[in-house]
Amino acid sequence: MLTFIGEIAEAIPMVSKSTLGLNVNQLFEQHPDLEGAVVGHQGIIDGLLMKNKFYQKIAVKYGYDLFMGRPIELIMDTSPLVVDYYDSIIHVSTKAMHRTQSQLYDYVIVTNNGSFYGIVSIKDLLQTFAEVQTYLARFSNPLTGLPGNIMIEEQLERALCQPEYSIFYFDLNQFKAYNDLYGFKQGDLVIRETAAMIQDGFYGYDSNKKFVGHIGGDDFIGIIHHYNYRAICEHILRQFDQSVRHFYSLEDLDRGFVIAYDRDKKLKETPLLSLAIAVITNQHTTFHSTNELSAYASQLKSFCKLTSGSRYVVDVDYPSKV
């Protein structure tokens, strides 16, 4: 499935802001399918000139004489929508639809590593967005709306091909006891709220390329293509520990634990909900398959859950523990 906006970007000519209107006119005549031109120099973007707006300018009284022999920086849009190659198609679609009416059908400009990469027309963007939405509806988790296991597998395979990646495995501690005590409806609320906090940690706190999925039950996964995992973990755990109090009665909160049946059907004191995060990177270890990665993740997650309370562990910190 297409995920990143850069995957549907199309290369078009870049012209400098000193280019005369008559030269841009020749460009549009030579390339009739071209709807606009990106203005800039050596990959640095200065603006955007859409063909329809160019001809509107020269069509007014004195417009031809005024603009055809002068630089296009006088009529270019200096604040076009510019996005990164690894921005999600869904996210870019939302931003594109929130532009002003005058910019609504303009190209979306795509950069990669800060340099001009290509453009996406609004037609291609909306068509791909519809395809992505259809795909997500078929393969997303119905409770959280997050991508499910088919898309998770795709993203893991992509991650293994990247020079840098960090993969987060999230698991709620004591969720079964909570679900048994408070009921499935309240348990589903905890799952949805946890999903929202994880998404906030990735999409609201971290601006780089990322992916969040719902493996099933109380298990989630996150992927980033860099090693700035500690700040994300700390942000999510801080949010979770602040929010988890709202899921309990005052009596249970004051007590600091709940009385629930264990797996042997015996009543026992059970700690309150907490969140465990196991982070795996390729800083020191190379994984050759998603099965190999998952097997190692299971070991690291089990180690993380040995200690009560919310915490995260990273493979580079505990190489001899799992």
Give residue-wise pLDDT tens across range 155-164.
999 999 999 9
Q: Looking at the DSSP assignment, which residues form a beta bridge with residue 43? A: none
Which amino acid makes up residue 199? Q
- pLDDT digit string, tens, across residues 80-139: 999 999 888 988 999 999 999 999 999 999 999 999 999 999 999 999 999 988 887 788
CATH of domain 5-129: 3.10.580.10
- pLDDT digit string, tens, across residues 225-268: 999 999 999 999 999 999 999 999 999 888 888 887 777 777 88
Which amino acid makes up residue 129? F
Query: Is the CA virtual torsion 88, 161, 42, 23 positive or negative?
Result: negative
Ramachandran region, residue 306 (left: φ > 0; alpha: ψ -120 to 50; beta: rest): alpha
Q: Where are the beta strands (DSSP E) in 128-199?
A: 166-173
Q: What's residue 321's pLDDT? A: 45
- The reply to whether the predicted model has a pTM over 0.75 is no
Whether residue 210 has pLDDT greater than 90: no
Enter the DSSP assignment of 203. Answer: I
Quickly list H helices, 8-121: 21-30, 51-59, 63-67, 89-97
Q: Where are the beta strands (DSSP E) in 113-189?
A: 115-120, 166-173
Tokens 């990669």 belong to: 112
Rounded CA gap, 244 and 4, in Å?
33
Whether residue 319 has pLDDT greater than 90: no
Q: What's residue 274's pLDDT? A: 95
What radius of gyration, in Å, describes the C-alpha atoms of the chain?
26
Give the model's confidence band at 205: pLDDT under 50 very low, under 70 low, under 90 confident, else very high.
low
Q: Looking at the DSSP assignment, which residues form a beta bridge with residue 276? A: 171, 311
Whether residue 282 has pLDDT greater than 50: yes
Token digits for 191?
Answer: 């799952």
Report the top-level CATH class of 143-314. alpha beta
With the CA atoms of 195, 198, 200 and 202 taken in that order, what torsion angle do they form, in degrees rounded to the nearest 10? Answer: -130
Give the model's confidence band at 208: pLDDT under 50 very low, under 70 low, under 90 confident, else very high.
low
Q: Where are the beta strands (DSSP E) in 210-287?
A: 210-216, 219-224, 257-261, 267-271, 274-281
Rounded CA gap, 234 and 221, in Å?
16
How confident is the model over 169-173, as a mean pLDDT? 96
Range 53-90 burial, b when 16+ CB lie within 10 A, else e: bbeebbeeeebeeebeeebbeebbbeebbebbbbbbbe
Q: Looking at the DSSP assignment, which residues form a beta bridge with residue 36? A: 50
Token digits for 201?
Answer: 């940690």
> How do the domains of the chain map onto residue ranges?
5-129, 143-314
Give the model's confidence band at 318: pLDDT under 50 very low, under 70 low, under 90 confident, else very high.
low
Please, are residues 251 and 137 in contact by the beta-carbon 8 Å criterion?
no
Please, are residues 110 and 5 in contact by the beta-carbon 8 Å criterion?
yes
Rounded CA gap, 80 and 250, in Å?
52
Mean pLDDT (the chain) is 91
